[in-house]
Amino acid sequence: MHKQIYVNLAVDNLERSKAFFSAIGFSFEPRFTNDQAACLILGENLYAMLLVKALFKSFTHKALCHPKESTEVLVGLSCESRGEVDALVARALAAGGTAPRAPQDYGFMYGHGFEDIDGHVWELIYMDPNAQAAG
């Protein structure tokens, strides 16, 4: 079994990206953060590595996509409540992010999301533990 997850994301300006995620309430693991990479703490054993493009490119022979033009990944995070979903989106918008679509309410599940300043899509989801999906 895997013990941790690290999602690697290429960023245009590391300091600007760190400021964005700090503004919406996230913090960084200083042991894995330097001038080329920042380890964004998403939760217990959940991390996103924000990598300057030159460093990111050193891990692959494939061309990088531009996340404002192409979708490379949808990063999904669970939240404790609908309120947490909405609060994170509001903070992201205030910090310079955008909302690619309206909130989605399926009764048993509520979701909304944001695009960060580099164009990466973050989907935030609250699943009501007492509700059942329509079937």
User: Where are the chain's structural domains?
Assistant: 5-127
pLDDT > 80? residue 24: yes
pLDDT digits (tens, 9 = 90+) for 31-83: 999 999 999 999 999 999 999 999 999 999 999 999 989 988 899 999 999 99
Quick one: pLDDT at residue 71?
87
Looking at residues 81-93, what average pLDDT do you find? 97
Could you tell me which residues are beta bridge partners of residue 48? Answer: 7, 40
Question: Are β-strands 27-29 and 74-78 bridged in parallel, bridged antiparallel, or unpaired?
Answer: unpaired
Q: Which residues contact 127 (CB under 8 A, 6 or more apart)?
A: 78, 108, 109
What is the pLDDT at residue 42? 96
pLDDT class of 132 with cuts at 50, 70, 90: low
| Distance separating alpha carbons of residues 91 and 12, to the nearest angstrom | 21
Nearest Cα neighbor of 132 from 109, 108, 110 is 108
Top-level class of domain 5-127: alpha beta
For 2-66, the DSSP string reads: ---EEEEEEES-HHHHHHHHHHTT-EEEGGG-SSSEEEEEEETTEEEEEEEHHHHHTT-SSPPP-
pTM value > 0.85: yes
pLDDT score, position 134: 54
Nearest 5°: phi and psi at 5? Answer: -130, 135
Question: Encoding tokens for residue 68?
Answer: 């404002």
Say whether pLDDT at 20 is over 60.
yes
| Predicted confidence (pLDDT) per residue in 113-124, tens digit | 999 999 999 999
